[in-house]
Amino acid sequence: MGHGLTALLLGGDFKYLEIYENGGGVAYFTLTNKWFPIHTGKAITAAGGLLGPAIAGSILISAAKSTKYASILLRVLTGVIILSLIVWIRSYWGIIVLSAFVVIFIIIMLLKNRQIETVTILFLGLQCVFSTYLQLDYLFTKQFERDGAIRISDTQAIAENTFGNYWIWAVFILFLSIVLLWKSIVFYFKR
C-alpha cells in the first residue's frame, strides 16, 4: 500500500494491490515525470513502500496517547481500508483479510469503549512498526525470486535509481524506521 500511495502522491496512478498469504504483496502503479524525473519517482516510491509501515505505525502509536484521537483514527483507518477494498485490492486473500479487519474494527467501534479503541490503535501501531523489523531479510536483499522470475528488491531499486547500493539504503531506511519508532514512543509516554 505504501508504494501505491506514494505513487499517487507523486502524481502517478495506483492501479491495484495484490496481497499474498504471507502478508507480502505487490503494488501496480505508473509514474509520470509530472513533478520528478521518472528515476527519482521510482526511488521515492520504492522507499515509500518500505517506510510506509513505520510511518503508519508512528502515527498510530502517537494517536494512542489520546482516546479521542485514537477513536477518530480507528474510524479513519476503517474508512481507508473500505476504500482500498473498493478501489485497489484485487487479490482474493487481500479481500478476505481486509474485510475481516473491517468487521473487527466495526465491532470494536460498536462497543463504544474508548479504552478498547485506544488499545486497538496502539496494538496496530506496534504491529506496523514491528513489521519493518520482521522483513529485515528483504530489506537487506538485492534480488529475489517470485513466480520463477528474478526481481530486484526495493532497496536495490532505490540504489539503481539514485546512487549507492542496496545495503546502504537498507541501513538508511532501518535508521529512519528506528527514529520514527523512538519519536512516537517518546511522544506516547511524554506527560
- Sorted by where each begins, the domain ranges of the chain are 2-189
Side-chain-side CA neighbours of 191 within 13 Å: the count stands at 0
Please state the pTM of the whole predicted model: 0.89
pLDDT > 80? residue 24: no
**Average pLDDT of the chain, as a whole number:** 93
Instruction: Return the pLDDT at 191.
Output: 81
Which segments of 33-190 does DSSP mark as H helices, in order?
38-63, 67-87, 92-110, 114-134, 136-139, 154-161, 166-189
pLDDT > 90? residue 136: no
Instruction: Return the pLDDT at 44.
Output: 96
By C-alpha distance, which of 131, 130, 152, 128 is closest to 142?
152
Please tell me the distance from the alpha carbon of residue 180 to that of residue 52, in angstroms, as a whole number. Answer: 11
